[in-house]
């Protein structure tokens, strides 16, 4: 894979987990990175640590708030220059039956996981178009975008919407040399999940039985896919959703939609 140097990437939800792994790989290949995260203290800590190897800026950002996103993009432009890459990674998870879900809870899922990427993509696209940047955007969706889940309706719906946002953006921006793709992770073994034990052993064991490669994914493997989609090797790929799931979605899964299986869904789950 070719490397780049001196380019600028924005990673939302970049303070921890998958987002941090993505930011680390951008830094490793010589790009400057903005950690756009709602958790200001964690964003600052991550930026300090990554700055030892490159230029990394923390910007407190609520992706669901238009003014916050506009300010983040403007600050990125002012301090780092033209924006080359955007990774919409920020996400939350709601684990509730539809009948128990409030309108506010539903709306928060949509605000963060669909409206947020729309706002970030719109503002970054405006910057790219204004400066003639032939950049790339990657939206982190989920295998949930293609399969229904008990207690995961709001999450799945927002991620499915993000797939369509990806395709529409690819069509609108392709003529300007801007590529837009999505990555759908399977279950990723993040440090936060290990520390908080939010994945029950029953859920993990059931999930592992459905993965042809026989293990959970690592944050670095999602970051690898992001780097590919932002590289010249992917120069003729746009509007695509790449499943990085160990083969989980490759067959006729016996457990898709099974109530007992998805009753073990973790209460908080990033990146899947």
Average of per-residue pLDDT values in the chain = 89
Reported as a pLDDT band with limits 50, 70 and 90, residue 202 is: confident
pLDDT tens-digit series, residues 124-182: 999 999 999 999 999 999 999 999 888 999 999 999 999 999 999 999 999 999 999 99
Tokens at 153, concatenated: 């309706």
Out of 9-23, 152-166, 176-190, 244-258, least confident range: 244-258
Rounded-to-integer distance, Cα 159 and Cα 269, Å = 13
Distance (Å, rounded) from C-alpha 53 to C-alpha 51?
A: 5
pLDDT in tens, 53-63: 999 999 999 99
Tell me which CATH homologous superfamily contains domain 8-262. NAD(P)-binding Rossmann-like Domain (3.40.50.720)
Task: Indicate the pTM of the whole model.
Answer: 0.90
Distance of alpha carbon 96 from alpha carbon 151, whole angstroms: 4
Q: Which two tokens stand for residue 192?
A: 């936060």
């Amino acid at each position: 894979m070719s490397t780049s140097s001196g380019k600028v990437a924005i990673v939302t939800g970049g303070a921890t987990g998958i987002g941090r792994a993505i930011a680390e790989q951008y830094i490793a290949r010589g790009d400057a990175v903005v950690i756009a995260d709602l958790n200001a203290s964690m964003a600052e800590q991550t930026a300090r640590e990554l700055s030892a190897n490159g230029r990394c800026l923390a910007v407190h950002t609520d992706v669901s708030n238009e003014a916050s996103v506009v300010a983040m993009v403007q600050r990125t432009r002012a301090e780092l220059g033209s924006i080359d890459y955007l990774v919409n990674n920020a996400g939350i998870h709601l684990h509730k039956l539809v009948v128990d879900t409030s309108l506010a809870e539903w709306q928060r899922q949509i605000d963060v996981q669909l409206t947020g990427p729309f706002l970030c993509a719109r503002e970054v696209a405006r910057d790219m178009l204004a400066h003639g940047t032939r950049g790339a955007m990657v939206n982190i969706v989920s295998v949930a975008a293609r399969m229904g889940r008990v207690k995961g309706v709001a999450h799945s719906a927002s991620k499915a919407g993000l797939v369509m946002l990806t395709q529409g953006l690819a069509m609108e921006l392709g003529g300007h040399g801007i590529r837009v793709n999505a990555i759908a992770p399977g279950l990723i073994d993040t440090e936060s999940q290990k520390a908080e034990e939010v994945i029950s052993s029953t859920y993990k064991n059931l999930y592992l039985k459905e993965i042809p490669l026989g293990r959970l994914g690592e944050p670095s493997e999602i970051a690898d896919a992001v780097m590919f989609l932002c590289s010249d090797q992917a120069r003729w790929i746009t509007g695509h959703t790449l499943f990085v799931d160990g083969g989980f979605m490759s067959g006729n899964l016996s457990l898709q939609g099974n109530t007992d299986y998805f009753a073990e869904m973790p209460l908080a789950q990033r990146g899947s």
